[in-house]
Structure formats: C-alpha cells, structure tokens
Chain A
Amino acid sequence: MHEQSIERTGAVKPLLQGRPSRSIWQTIRQKGSLYLFLIPTIIFLLIFMYYPAFTAVRLSFYQWDGFGPERWVGLRNFERLFTNSVMLSSINNMLILTIARILIVLTTPLLAAELVFHLMSDRWKYWYRVIFVIPLVIPDVVTYLLWQFIFNPSVGLANVLLNNLGLSFLSNEWLGSHRTVLLSLALVGFPWIAGINFLIYLAGLQNIPREVLDAAAVDGATGFRRFWLVDVKLIMGQIKLLLILSIIFSLQAFVLILIMTNGGPGYSSMVPGLLMYEAAFQDGRFGYACAIGTAIFVVIFVLTYINMRYIQPETEHSPS
C-alpha cells in the first residue's frame, strides 16, 4: 500500500531499476543529503524511544534499586506477577474495569451516533457532533477531579441528588468503599457519549453508501430491524476497532485511578499499571516495575497485532 501510494503520485523515479549497474554505495552517496533530513528524528528516537524500550525489557530480568549493582534474577520478576496476591487482585480489578469499558463502548456512544445519524436535518447533525466533542477538550485531570467531587460522600452531586430524590438509602461512600469503588470508577464520564467513540461510530454510519440504505428502506427494514441488520453489520469494522482500542486503553490506564483513589481503599481499586508506578517511584524496585511494564506491553502487542492483522484492513480509511 505504501509503495503504491508513492507510485501513483509519481514521486518515485525509476532509480534502481533503470540503472542496474549502479552500486548501492553510489546511490547512497548521490542521495546522501536526504539522510540529513532523517538524522534528527533518528537521534531522538534512538535516545528517547528505542533505548528505553530495550532497557525496560532488559531490566525486567534484574533486581535493581536504582543505585547499587543490578542483580540477575531470570524470570523471578515475572513469576511474582502470577503469585503475588496484590498483583492478582489488581489484574482482577483491571479485568472488571475493562469489561465495563467494553459494555460502555458498545452501548451509549453507538446509540447517540445512531440518533444523530437518523436526524433529517443536516444542520442539527453538525451541531450535535460539535456539542458532543466539547467535553473532549476539557483537560483529563479536570474531568477526573470533577468526578471525584461528584462522588464526594458529603457534598458530591451523586449523594445530594439521591437525598433530594428521597433515595438516600442508595447514597454511598462511592470511591471510599471497597464495594462501590470499581462501580464508581466505571461510572466516570456517564453517559459516556462525548468522546472519540461517538465520532468514530458517526463517521462509520455516514460512510454507509446511500444506495444500501435506500435498498434497505425498499425492503421494509425500519427501526430496530434496520439498526440490527443493516447499520450494525456495516459498521462492524468500527465496532471491532473501538473494542480493541478500548481494551488496549484499559490495560494501561492508571492515571484516572492514581488521581481519584490511588488504588484504594486498601487495594480494592489497584491496577497493574499503578502497581508498576508504585514499585518504581515509591519502593525503588525498578526491575520488578519493568517486568510489569513489559508484561503489559506483551499483551498490548498481541492485541495490536490481532487488530492490524485481522481487524484494521476492513476499516482502512484515510483520515481526511
């Protein structure tokens, strides 16, 4: 695909094919100045991306406090991931939050995108799109702190609302209780419409060819039947993409939890990413921390591979 796009626009001169006798070194000398364009990027990436990435994998086989000598421990750091009870319960929490995220991605953003898509007025379509993008511009930290306030047991919106509605028996400690903390974290952003998910669903729906929708209408597919048999089928690519993206996001997301609960109360909202952060920056166990990071990376890598190999090709679209 890469070569094609260059050839189509004629950027490629028949450099190598035309003059087979030319040695590769001559070509490099002739094109030498081009490499100067790449050097800054390459230096930055070697220092700040490649080197740290390799160091992370290497350090995960060592025990290291950040100062003294590194001690080779083989796979011991990784064994801990499967035996340490805090780690296991943090994996469990992560899975619960990931499942919640999946359920969310599949419901309200899709519903909202459907509703906007079916509006007859194009002007309103445009405005709803703009309106539901605005919350994305609010800084992440503001959103987290705002939701932390919403769950404040004494002055937060959640409990005040429940009390005002006469439902005070439902009011709760929210983030402060191990029974409700994961539920509360999953509720952040309710009703979860404003976001990338909505935009991608809507773009997918708007890409459905007019003829397909007309044909469906002629065949009498309306309402829920049409949604299920036509729309969902045709945006399956977007649905799969968003599923993978939200799983990948959930596996490494821990800033929300760091800010809102710091993994508490106790360890009841702890996730592996936050354990990694604590292992490194509070306990100085850099080897173990890197092992956690490496393990998360491997899982993400496999998912990304599945995504690119089996899911992305169908939804290939160029960002306009």
Chain B
Amino acid sequence: MRSKAFRHDLPLHVVLIILGIITFYPLIFTLFTSFKDNSQFYSTFWGPAWPLHWGNYADAWRQLYPVLINTVFVGLVSAFGTIFLASLSAYVFARHRFPGHDLLFYAIIALLMIPGVLTLIPLFLLVKDLGLLNTYWVLILPYIAGGQAFAIFVLRSFIASQPEEIFESARIDGANEFTIYQRIAMPMAKPILGTLAILALLGTWNDYIWPSVTLRNPELWTISLKLVSFSSQWASLQQYGPMFAGYVIASIPLLILFMFTMRLFIEGLASGAIKA
C-alpha cells in the first residue's frame, strides 16, 4: 500500500522538489553568503564556505538591533490596540441589536474598500498638523485605525458563532456587559485573537512607505525602513557578508514566530488575502 502510494506520488515529488529548490535557493544563498568574507564570496559563489565569519552578524546586529526593538515595540502596541478596540466593537455587533447596529457595522466594514494609496497623503498631512511626526504614535495610531475594519469583520462572525446559552446564564447571574465580554467572549475567541495579532505584527514588520514619510529621525525607524539604507550602505562598500547577515537578522524573528504558531499563521495568511 505504502509503496503504491509512493510510486504514484514519485513524479509529483520530482516536480515539486525542483520547484521547491528554485523557490528556496535564494534564501539558502542568503544564509551561505551571510557567513562569508569577500574572498569567500568570490571564490565559492554558489555554496557554503568555511570558516564561518560570525563577525558579519556582529556588524549587522549592531546596526539593526535598535530598529528591531522599535519594530517589536510598535508592532506589539499596535497589535494590542487594534485587537482591544476591535474586539469591544465586534462583541456588541455580534451579541446585541440596538438602533444604528447595521448602519454602524457597514460604515466600518466599508472601510475595507479604502486602499492605502487613497489615504496615504491626507493622513500624512493630518499627522503633520497633529504634531505626531517623528514619534512612535505616528505609526501606532494609524495602524490601530487601519486594522479595525478587518479585525471587526473577522471577530464579529467568530463571536456571533459562540453559543448563546453561556451568555444568557452569565446575564442571569447579573454579570455586566464588560465582564461578559472579558470573561466569556474573549477567552473563547483566543485562537482568532492570536491570528489577528500575528497579522498586525506582520503588517508593522513589512510596512515601508508609512515610516519612510513620517519618520525623519533614524532612531525611531522600523526594520523595513532601516534595512533599505543598511543594504545600500554595505552594497556600496561591496561587503556582501554583513549585508546578507542583516537580511537573516531581519527575517529570523518572524521565522521563529512562524515555527511556534504555524497553524494560526497559515489561517491568518489565507484570510489576510481577502483583506489585501
């Protein structure tokens, strides 16, 4: 049985493995090159070379760790803010009827159709007038706002599918709305909250445009913004080892997160497609 399946699958594996190698080779090349000095780079272009030059990582780390800390800080605060506000709204939309329910809900969901290119410039003018340029707030506040529509959309349907009996018995026990939200709706929604938090973190990690127009002060930069200038600096010195070490450093935190939360990640990415 097992061998029959294997014989059936073999040609498929061959094609998939070839596709996999082409897909992954640039990443493997990155890893190899990140450990090379310049002479190794030219003499063993395609493969790994010994000894490993860990110094490349030290050089890259010195430049990148401050922005990594910024990115994690902004990412966590925005993820928390997005989910906290969105879950409050999603809870009432899912479990209650009240005047204006549908109007408000659709007014929020309609924002899914507003692309970033439309709001980029007026948002910049707004944060400039509010005096937020060159602060962490200039990232955090718009990220929280930008995440609302999608998070509410996803959370509402999740909370709406929770069994009513539990909510009913809590109400009979005299629990107030916030307690019900906090003690019943949220604990049951944990997996989807995790998925949304990961998406928010990914969003902060990947955003380039918004930090590039709002942050002049390099001390506040996030990883995507820093990496571009970091990269061109090493490329102009033709020092490719530290440059690729920087790429690895920028990728590792997300890869680790991925390993521990694989299922949430895959679901999040698949549902995130609808957002994009």
Complex interface: chain B residues within 8 A of A300 (CB): 113, 115
A283 → chain B closest CB, angstroms: 12
Q: In the complex, are the beta carbons of B23 and A132 less than 8 A apart?
A: yes
Complex interface: chain B residues within 8 A of A66 (CB): 125
Q: In the complex, are the beta carbons of B12 and A115 less than 8 A apart?
A: yes
Q: In the complex, are the beta carbons of B228 and A145 less than 8 A apart?
A: yes
Complex interface: chain A residues within 8 A of B12 (CB): 115-116, 118-119
Q: Is B276 an interface residue (CB 8 A)?
A: yes
* Count of inter-chain pairs, beta carbons less than 8 A: 270
With contacts A37-B91, A38-B89, A47-B145 taken as known, whether A191 is within 8 angstroms of B181 at the C-beta atoms is no
Cβ contact of B152, chosen from A41, A49, A252, A301, cutoff 8 A: A41
Cβ contact of A145, chosen from B5, B104, B231, cutoff 8 A: B231
Whole-angstrom distance between the alpha carbons of A9 and B156 in the complex?
Answer: 13
Q: Is A75 an interface residue (CB 8 A)?
A: no
Q: In the complex, are the beta carbons of A134 and B123 less than 8 A apart?
A: no
B207 → chain A closest CB, angstroms: 9
Q: In the complex, are the beta carbons of A138 and B254 less than 8 A apart?
A: yes
Q: Is B251 an interface residue (CB 8 A)?
A: yes
Whole-angstrom distance between the alpha carbons of A132 and B250 in the complex?
Answer: 20
Whole-angstrom distance between the alpha carbons of A116 and B41 in the complex?
Answer: 36
Q: In the complex, are the beta carbons of A55 and B148 less than 8 A apart?
A: no
The count of chain B contact residues (Cβ–Cβ below 8 Å) is 100
Cβ-closest chain B residue relative to A66: B125
With contacts A41-B148, A129-B266 taken as known, whether A49 is within 8 angstroms of B95 at the C-beta atoms is no
Interface residues of A in 1-23 (CB under 8 A from B): 2, 5-6, 9-13, 15-16
Q: Is B63 an interface residue (CB 8 A)?
A: no
Complex interface: chain A residues within 8 A of B94 (CB): 6, 11
Cβ contact of B141, chosen from A44, A259, A294, A297, cutoff 8 A: A44
With contacts A16-B97, A140-B206 taken as known, whether A49 is within 8 angstroms of B146 at the C-beta atoms is yes
Contact with A along B195-229 (1 / 0, CB 8 A): 00000001001101100010000000001100110
Complex interface: chain B residues within 8 A of A230 (CB): none
Cβ contact of B269, chosen from A124, A128, A199, cutoff 8 A: A199
Q: Is A320 an interface residue (CB 8 A)?
A: yes
Interface residues of B in 75-112 (CB under 8 A from A): 85-86, 88-89, 91-92, 94-99, 102, 104-105, 108, 111
User: Main SS of chain B's interface residues?
Assistant: helix
Q: In the complex, are the beta carbons of A52 and B123 less than 8 A apart?
A: yes
Complex interface: chain A residues within 8 A of B108 (CB): 41, 45
Cβ contact of B118, chosen from A118, A150, A194, A297, cutoff 8 A: A297
Cβ contact of B85, chosen from A41, A193, A248, A258, cutoff 8 A: A41
Q: Is B187 an interface residue (CB 8 A)?
A: no
Q: Given A139-B227, A199-B269, A258-B208, list of 19 further CB < 8 A pairs?
A: A11-B160, A34-B92, A35-B98, A38-B92, A40-B85, A41-B89, A49-B145, A49-B146, A118-B12, A119-B13, A130-B262, A135-B23, A141-B206, A145-B228, A150-B26, A191-B22, A276-B120, A293-B117, A301-B113
Interface residues of A (CB under 8 A from B): 2, 5-6, 9-13, 15-16, 24, 27-28, 31, 33-35, 37-38, 40-42, 44-45, 47-53, 55-56, 59, 66, 108, 112, 115-116, 118-121, 124, 128-142, 145-147, 149-150, 155, 157, 160, 190-191, 193-194, 196, 199-200, 203, 245, 248-249, 252, 255, 258-259, 273, 276-277, 280-281, 286, 289-290, 293-294, 296-297, 300-301, 304, 318-320
